[in-house]
Amino acid sequence: MKFFTYTSAFLALCSRLVVHGAHSQTTSASAAQISAGYHVIYSYSGTTPPDQLTELIKKGAIGGILLFGENVSPSLPSQVTQWQSVYRSSSAYAGSPLLIMTDQEGGQVRRLPGGPSLSEKEIGASANPVQAATSAGQQAASALRTYANNVNLAPVGGVYRQSGNFLDQYGRSYSNQSSITSECISAFIKSQQSNGDVLATAKHFPGLGSAKAGQDTDAKPVTINTSLDELRSIDEKPFQSAIQADVDLIMPSWALYPALDAKFPSGLSRKWVTDELRDRLGFEGVIITDAIEAGGLNAFGANDSHRSILAIQAGQDSILVGARNVEQGWQIVQDLAIASINGSINAQEWSQSTQRILSLRSKITI
Ligand SMILES: *[C@@H]1O[C@H](CO)[C@@H](O)[C@H](O)[C@H]1NC(C)=O
Ligand SMILES: *[C@@H]1O[C@H](CO)[C@@H](O)[C@H](O)[C@H]1NC(C)=O
Ligand SMILES: *[C@@H]1O[C@H](CO)[C@@H](O)[C@H](O)[C@H]1NC(C)=O
Ligand SMILES: *[C@@H]1O[C@H](CO)[C@@H](O)[C@H](O)[C@H]1NC(C)=O
């Protein structure tokens, strides 16, 4: 008897926990969380997306999903279509889809099956680089569309300095000449954006071309000592071409460039993001971070919400949350929502930033 009493009490407790859990998952998001959600791109691990992701889409506390090779399975396209349909019935839905993105650069850096088969380096070295980059843009658009993705986190705008350096070792730089990199990045962007309605992202502003082999901002802090003159006359040129080609997004790098800001890496730097990229170069599109948990930001602590607030304060619009853990994205949304209410984030800039994201999304037809 005692056993049964215990069991039923235990079951009652379990069902309370389950009800409570289910309740907290379906509770609607606050208005501030919905606003913050537009700014946060989530990721998850493996081929079976967690239910929590669908719950957050229902609540509207999410702006998009970053996909990795490990997420790819034959059912991924229909999964994405299903998420978009769940999102359309959420209270956050403002007439445009979630951003679904991946790194489909070409060569060795391709998360989805399909092209571009040539690396940036092979394109830059080919007989007709502009034609090859145009074809690569078409191939990227086609691969992304097959998987219902609407944003490519490519192309790379770095102008490499030494063979075998950080970008060159994987063939990720079109050329060691700024003019060729500029032509190629521009051709890729125009081709991908017009042939597939897939938005392009020029990265990593102001360029990782002089990062040496092993200077990987994903792993650790990286300092690039190039002078401001050289950064502007060589490294920034491809980004200016990208802006002229109407690139939709730009991703700042996580490297520190003391020539303009000795304290904050480009992506956390008001001087780089707002003064240089927005004001000096006149970029009006969406600025998206590189992965927020990157080791490159270790000097700023391990708290991803803190890092995200710094990125927004610098002038970035979207936060890429790449540790493949849905809870990581949800925590950031909740903390950005608080920061947007308590004055840590400038209210006027925040609402302009949200508008930029929504207007970017309104261009998407997939
Ligand atoms: C650029 O790369 C080419 C091909 O590897 C090489 O021949 C040339 O010397 C390099 N130019 C500069 C300025 O480093
Ligand atoms: C960059 O310059 C700083 C200060 O001059 C120096 O301490 C550092 O070693 C340099 N870093 C690289 C990668 O050259
Ligand atoms: C992380 O940073 C956010 C934003 O500054 C802060 O609200 C939160 O308390 C921090 N979390 C931890 C665990 O320190
Ligand atoms: C506002 O909220 C953010 C995020 O939780 C926190 O880091 C910050 O300390 C808060 N600021 C104030 C003034 O309460």
Whether the CA torsion 83, 26, 331, 347 is positive or negative: it is positive
Which residue puts its alpha carbon closest to atom 14 of ligand 4? 342
- As a whole number, mean pLDDT of residues 7-36 equals 57
pTM over 0.75? The answer is: yes
- What digits encode the pLDDT tens for the residues 303-336? 999 999 999 999 999 999 999 999 999 999 999 9
161, pLDDT greater than 80: yes
**Better-predicted residue by pLDDT, 298 or 10:** 298
Look at 54-58, 129-133, 164-168, 191-195 and tell me which has the smallest mean pLDDT.
191-195
Q: Cα(269) to centroid of ligand 4, in Å?
A: 19
- What digits encode the pLDDT tens for the residues 100-126? 999 999 999 999 999 999 999 999 999
The preferred substitution site among 306, 319, 336, 340 for testing ligand 3, maximizing ligand atoms within 8 Å of CB, is 306
What's residue 27's pLDDT? 76
Phi, psi dihedrals of residue 89, rounded to the nearest 5° = -100, 10
22, pLDDT greater than 60: no
CATH class for the region spanning 2-362: alpha beta
Ligand 2 pocket (Cβ < 6 Å) reads: 223, 225
Which of the four pLDDT bands, split at 50, 70 and 90, describes residue 19?
very low
What's residue 21's pLDDT? 36
5, pLDDT greater than 80: no
The number of C-alpha atoms within 13 Å of 292 and in the hemisphere containing its C-beta is 31
Query: Chain centroid to CA 40: how far?
Result: 9
Which residue puts its alpha carbon closest to atom 12 of ligand 3? 303
DSSP letter for each residue of 285-333: SEEEEEETT-GGGGGG-S-HHHHHHHHHHHT--EEE--SS-HHHHHHHH
Q: Cα(226) to centroid of ligand 2, in Å?
A: 10
Q: Is the CB of 338 under 6 A from ligand 4?
A: yes
Cα separation, 120 vs 126, in Å, equals 10
Residues 277 and 253: beta-carbon distance below 8 Å? no
What's residue 196's pLDDT? 65
260, pLDDT greater than 60: yes
Q: Cα(262) to centroid of ligand 2, in Å?
A: 11
Q: How many residues does the chain have?
A: 366
Cα separation, 320 vs 307, in Å, equals 11
- As a whole number, mean pLDDT of residues 192-216 equals 93
264, pLDDT greater than 90: yes
Cα separation, 257 vs 215, in Å, equals 13
Which residue puts its alpha carbon closest to atom 7 of ligand 3? 335
For residue 5, give every residue at least 6 positions away whose Cβ sits within 8 Å of its Cβ, in sequence order, or none: none
292, pLDDT greater than 60: yes
- As a whole number, mean pLDDT of residues 124-133 equals 98
